[in-house]
Structure 1
Amino acid sequence: MSGAAGAVGSMVGQFASLAGARRVVGSAGSIEKVRYLVDELGYDAAFNYKDGPVLNQLRNAFPDGFDVFFDNVGSDHLAAAIDVLNEFGRVAMCGTISTYNAPEHDAVPVDAFKIVAKRLRLQGFIAFDHEDLREEFAPQVGAWLESGRLTYRETASQGIEAVPAALTGMLTGANTGKAIVRLADDPV
């Protein structure tokens, strides 16, 4: 299970597939992004988190539970994952985008009893913590990109005046993939 269909989540789902995950499911905020995850990125399934409770959609996607969850959303996504994860499941926590626009950071509503009873492992991480893996990571990802097995999209804007709209679009889900603001024309 991967988090939202942003630049990070879309890469993580592809990495999971390429590494041999049995089933990769993602969530996104529009039917177009759901189609993108399945049709272009090769996810086994995806759901629109705006179509109903994430917990119900996640249970439908994984009636027998799942073992690994990548979380960059927090909030109802994390709470639902804790409910549907199998015993000894693992959660890689990389962000909490659901709180980025909030004036106050509310606590994520999780059931601590389920975390203990299922013996779940929740681990926060930042990519910079793993610089020692760069020499192994770069050639592998480069080969996947070159072969076309790993793909990505960018939503590009032009000029410094586009920064506020690009940032707002990134935080509200208006973009697909990585949001980029080009300050100068690309060299020829």
Structure 2
Amino acid sequence: MIFTQKAKTRVFLIGTALWLGMAGITGCGHSAPPSSHSKHPPARKTSVAKPQSRRSGAPTSPAPRTAAPAVPVGNVKAGAALFQKSCQSCHGPQGSGSHSGPALKASALVISRFGTQSALEGFIAHNMPASNPGSLSPQQAADAAAYVWHLAKEPPPPKKPLGKAGHHH
């Protein structure tokens, strides 16, 4: 069976969400603060009447659209500081990994799974930190993604050569 890239991405995101759900249950050793309400209220369904001209009752043209808000640009240095404060308890110092979270440094998995820093940013914004998903501001998510992407693209450390067997000094 051949899967499209979109299908592979969807399967990965579902698997990751399940994994994060389990990580959220364990909370990487942290418990989420008790809350009786979400930071984001549920979406409300509303109906919008089309504007009509006062004279004829005919629909009028829609108001001109305003420019979309600027997307925050990630800062690697700010992301490193945020990572140290909020992420390394699960992902280890400099993203080296731990029993609670995967290694992110020199991670081909991060690069192959997300493909772009922007996709990684979206994942971080909605799913991290595991102890309080979605609690990062858009700028914090952008900074964290910039740092993690930087870490993931680092080349792996060189392997140490093995000494010759039976050779004594």
Normalising by structure 2, we get a TM-score of 0.26
Greater RCO, CA 8 A, separation 6+: 2
Q: Which has the higher strand share?
A: 1
Larger radius of gyration: 2
